Amino acid sequence: MGSIGGHVPGKAPVLACRRCGLLTPLPKCPECGAETEDPGVAPPAEVRPLGEPLRRFVREVLRREGIPKDVVPRDEPLWVNRAPEFDVLEEVVSVRPVLALRYDAAVGRWGVVLKEEGAVRLWEEGGASVEVDEGAAAAVSEGKNLFAPGVVAHDDLEPGSWVVVTHRDTPVAFGTVVEGAEEALRRGRGMVVRVKGSVEDPEPRRLRYDLEGLADVHSDYLEGRIRGAVDFLRDVVDVESAFVSVSGGKDSAVAALVASEAGVVDAFYADTGMEFPSTVEAVEGTADALGLDLEVKETGEDVIPSLSERLLPPSRDNRWCTLVAKLKPVRDYVRSAGKSYTVVGVRRFESEARSRRGRVWRSSEVPGQVNVAPVFDFSSLEVWMVLALEGLPVNEAYEWGVNRVGCFMCPAGKIGEYEWVSRFVPSMWRGWVELLEDYSRRHDLPEDWLRLHVWRWLRPEGEIERLASEESLRWGERVLSRWSGVDPEEAALEFARSECPGCGYCGRPGEEPCPVLERSLRRVFEGGA
């Protein structure tokens, strides 16, 4: 794949003005002009607004953890940030991070990790606390654990619960109560609190600007960003030979806005049959709002399930679903429409792989096609503000916690995220789980193959190797065992002639080797891609 230009992903510019209570990408507050500061959001700082369904979920988890729900209040315009982790680790962000919502895949349980702001709010809401003397206060402020001799007074302490450590009725640190804390206090020796952080600023800080208000105070800046992207696009493409690929996601909507203002009139969307209903609505709404001539290609609602049943589910390291349900329709559209440029909503902060592509690159899957990303350098914060400024439709899936919209069962998803999907589209999710359950029974796969969603890796690696059973980790070899020792191309040709479900990716079903099976066999038995 050829690439023109390159960037380092880094951390998106997300700064805060404590005085005004807002987030901004700017070094000076657009409202008061004061210098802004780093709120301490985890890289890559791809923040998005906290949707109401996800807010209710976070408050529900707080209640289960014995933490006052108003640590995350109903009315504060908070943001969330997906931090790097094996599974879901979602920071809830105010002027500084409040907490991290974490899914523990090993035990299948949600929990929270308080941050400094969360500890201050816990104290404000009357949460459990431990008052300490001056010596202990100095120690815990340096990150040292709290021991019984320094305790002056304390509330009832539940092992594992979050607690604020105070001195002179002011928060100085926070942490979790250790097992045996009450006994340590009774005896006057032993650890009481495992300290997780110190409190340098004991005043609670809150955001005051909702998304629309934030977009309004940044309007001049955002309009300049849009103009710059439009100028870039006009410089590198022939707009009459270009179309915009819309996906129903936030980034492609802003790319479509830029494309339409640059003079691009055509848009294309490949409906895989596994999309959220809200994704289709967002695609159509974006095209209508921008006056784009939209062509929709429906892959067929049974293509991905059919191949999943007959061969194997799509996985992160074997994304045949993209080839069959996305790239083939794009390839067909390009051939029929005679287009040379695809405008896409790819941004560098999304992943290291996307960052390496640069703003312009030649497609490896659609011959002769050049992909152009006019919003490549936009942060997620800027994208969300542009959507609000321009009044473009927003996919409802974001409200429920989904980080990147697409197929509802995308193998790139997280286990915790699937729980949110099951609440958002319960009948769709149930249908997919039933397919996997039947598949598991037919191939005699272990229970944890589905519980841990090991189907997401054809050759599992990384953290999942620690969690899953050996039998589950080697599921690809079991499922494809009848082709073990057979040349992959020969096996793929025989499958195409006798068992092909007709996905059409190869162009001539039954006449050419099935690329899905051939790639899968090479991946499992040869370690290839």
Instruction: Render pLDDT for 152-168 as a digit per residue (tens, 0 to 9).
Output: 999 999 999 999 999 99
What are 468-525's pLDDT values in tens digits? 999 999 999 999 999 999 999 999 999 988 887 777 666 666 678 888 999 999 999 9
Sequence-distant (≥ 6) Cβ neighbours of residue 217 within 8 angstroms:
22, 30, 31, 209
Residue 508 is predicted with a pLDDT of: 66
Sequence-distant (≥ 6) Cβ neighbours of residue 213 within 8 angstroms:
none
According to DSSP, the β-strands at 162-167 and 129-132 are: parallel
Helix, strand, coil tally for the chain in percent (to 5) = 40, 20, 40
Higher pLDDT, 418 or 366: 418
Q: Concatenate the DSSP letters of all residues of 91-123 into one string.
A: EEESSSEEEEEEEETTTTEEEEEE-HHHHHHHH
Q: Of the ranges 50-64, 265-279, 510-524, which one carries the lowest mean pLDDT score?
A: 510-524
Share of the chain above pLDDT 70, in %: 96
What are 102-124's pLDDT values in tens digits? 999 999 999 999 999 999 999 99
Does residue 40 register a pLDDT over 70?
Answer: yes
Fold of 127-198: 2.30.130
Fold of 212-401: Rossmann fold (3.40.50)
Q: Concatenate the DSSP letters of all residues of 136-203 into one string.
A: HHHHHHTTPPEEGGGEEEE----TT-EEEEEETTEEEEEEEEPTTHHHHHHHT-SEEEEEEEE-S--S
Mean pLDDT of 207-215: 97
CA separation for the pair 251, 475 (Å, rounded) = 36
In the numeric block, which tokens belong to residue 4? 């023109």
Residue 16 bridge partners (DSSP): 23, 37
Neighbours of 285 (CB within 10 A): 17
> What is the pTM for the complete model shown?
0.93
Q: Where in the chain is the domain with CATH 2.30.130.10?
A: 127-198
Residue 512 is predicted with a pLDDT of: 85
Mean pLDDT of 290-319: 91
Share of the chain above pLDDT 90, in %: 84
SS3 132: strand
Residue 401 is predicted with a pLDDT of: 95
Band of pLDDT at residue 92, cut at 50, 70 and 90: very high
Q: Of the ranges 59-68, 202-211, 258-267, 323-332, which one carries the lowest mean pLDDT score?
A: 323-332
Higher pLDDT, 441 or 335: 441
Does residue 3 register a pLDDT over 50?
Answer: no
CA separation for the pair 178, 160 (Å, rounded) = 6
**Long-range contacts for 84-88 (Cβ within 8 Å, ≥24 apart)?**
84/42, 84/43, 86/462, 86/463, 86/464, 87/414, 87/415, 87/416, 88/414, 88/415, 88/416, 88/417
CA separation for the pair 282, 398 (Å, rounded) = 11
Residue 509 is predicted with a pLDDT of: 65
> Hey, CA dihedral for 452, 458, 464, 466, is it positive or negative?
positive
Mean pLDDT of 126-146: 97
According to DSSP, the β-strands at 266-271 and 242-245 are: parallel
Sequence-distant (≥ 6) Cβ neighbours of residue 20 within 8 angstroms:
29, 31, 32, 34, 208, 209
Q: Taking Cα atoms as reference points, which of 86, 87, 91 lies closest to residue 101?
A: 91
Does residue 406 register a pLDDT over 90?
Answer: no
Q: Where in the chain is the domain with CATH 3.40.50.620?
A: 212-401
Does residue 10 register a pLDDT over 80?
Answer: no
Neighbours of 379 (CB within 10 A): 22
DSSP H/E element including 135 = helix 134-141
Mean pLDDT of 430-436: 98
> Cα 163–166–168 angle (5° rounding)?
160
> Hey, CA dihedral for 142, 144, 150, 156, is it positive or negative?
positive
